[in-house]
Amino acid sequence: MDAAEKDEVKLRFGARLRKLRKAAKLSQEKVALKAGIDRSYYGGIERGENNVSLINIARIAGALGVGVAELFPD
C-alpha cells in the first residue's frame, strides 16, 4: 500500500466517523471525552491526519454507541 492509498483509508475512516457523530448529534469534544481521548487528536482522526490505534477505534465506537464494524465504510 503506497502513501496515497494510506491517506485515502484515513480520509474515508474519518468521514465515516464524522457522519456517525453528526447522526448522533454529538460534538467532537463530547465524543473525545466519552472515548477518553484528546479532542484535538479526535479532530485529526476525522480529518484523516491521524492513524488511529485499534484500542482507540474501540473506544470511539463505544462513545458513539455503535459496534466497531460500523466505523468502517465498507
- Under 8 Å CB-to-CB from 30, ≥6 apart: which residues? none
Which residue blocks in the chain are alpha helix, DSSP H?
3-23, 28-35, 39-46, 54-64
pLDDT in tens, 13-69: 999 999 999 999 999 999 999 999 999 999 999 999 999 999 999 999 999 999 999
What single-letter amino acid sits at 21?
A: R
Among residues 29, 74, 41, 37, which one has the least CA distance to residue 58? 37
pLDDT at residue 38 in the model: 97
Q: Which domains does the chain have, with CATH numbers?
A: 3-71 (1.10.260.40)
Residues recorded for the chain? 74
The residue among 1 and 5 whose pLDDT is bigger is: 5
pLDDT at 1 over 90: no
